[in-house]
């Protein structure tokens, strides 16, 4: 498995991965209706259009995207998704570590994340604390999420 920065040609593969992960991994924590809307709005264009204001990395195995992480140009980690067949193998932790170091190198003191219910325990294992619960709008639905945060003090340099 190799981790590298995203290129334009990866956007379709990232969208495919995100859709599949929402449908197969997040589906245990959210209603069928919500999963349909959430997975349905993901596409390559969304990734392409936001590329200029974030940094993204993908994990690749045998030319296949098996995970990705992205953070904005402020203090927020945007998304972290691992392919359903690769969950629990340490890939999410490796991707998270890269994004955290990058945010720290941008001068961020506290990293913020809008975590899904599914990922809450994972982030807690990595030192994040729940700041509050909230509802995040996804099209005409509301996604139950946790705003979580972590101090970058203690994270190694990039
Ligand atoms: C959350 C996610 C990125 C974690 O990636 P991963 O590659 O499965 O995580 P890792 O294998 O690196 O797990 C690291 C630790 O967290 C734990 N962990 C991971 N997901 C967990 C979960 N849902 N519940 C409880 N513990 C979890 C692992 O057991 C492991 O613990 P250990 O070190 O004691 O063995 C992945 O499960 C995923 O894509 N989830 C769905 C998408 C999602 O909700 N993403 C977050 C968007 S904000």
User: Could you read off the pLDDT of 125-137 as tens digits, one per residue?
Assistant: 999 999 999 999 9
3-state secondary structure of 100: helix
Query: Among 122, 143, 147, which is best to mutate for testing ligand 1, by the most ligand atoms less than 8 A from CB?
Result: 122
CA–CA distance, 158 with 53 (Å, rounded to integer): 20
Fold of 2-151: Aminopeptidase (3.40.630)
Query: Among 67, 88, 143, which is best to mutate for testing ligand 1, by the most ligand atoms less than 8 A from CB?
Result: 88
pLDDT of residue 156: 80
The mean pLDDT of 138-158, rounded to a whole number, is 91
- Please give the backbone phi and psi of residue 73, each rounded to the nearest 5 degrees, phi first: -90, 10
In the block, which residue shows the tokens 């994040």? 128
Atom of ligand 1 nearest to the CA of 26: 41
Confidence of residue 154 (pLDDT cuts 50, 70, 90): confident
Record the tokens describing residue 138, joined without a space.
Answer: 């996804």
pLDDT of residue 158: 58
The mean pLDDT of 34-62, rounded to a whole number, is 96
Q: Please determine, for residue 9, whether its predicted confidence score (pLDDT) is greater than 70.
A: yes
Closest CA to 75 of 99, 51, 43, 47: 99
68 CB under 6 A from ligand 1?
no
N residues, the chain: 158
13 CB under 6 A from ligand 1?
no
pLDDT of residue 148: 98
């Amino acid at each position: 498995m190799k981790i590298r920065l995203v290129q334009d040609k990866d956007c379709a593969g990232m969208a495919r991965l995100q859709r599949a992960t929402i449908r197969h991994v997040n589906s245990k924590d959210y209603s069928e209706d919500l999963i349909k809307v959430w997975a349905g709005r993901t596409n390559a264009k969304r990734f392409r259009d936001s590329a200029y204001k974030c940094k993204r990395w993908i994990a690749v195995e045998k030319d296949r995207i098996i995970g990705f992480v992205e953070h904005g140009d402020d203090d927020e980690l945007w998304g972290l998704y691992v392919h359903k067949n690769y969950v629990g193998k340490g890939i999410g932790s490796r991707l998270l570590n890269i994004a955290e170091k990058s945010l720290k190198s941008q001068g961020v003191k506290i990293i913020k994340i809008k975590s899904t219910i599914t990922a809450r325990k994972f982030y807690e294992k990595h030192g994040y604390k729940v700041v509050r619960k909230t509802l995040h709008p996804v099209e005409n639905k509301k996604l139950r999420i946790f705003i979580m945060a972590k101090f970058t003090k203690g994270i190694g340099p990039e």
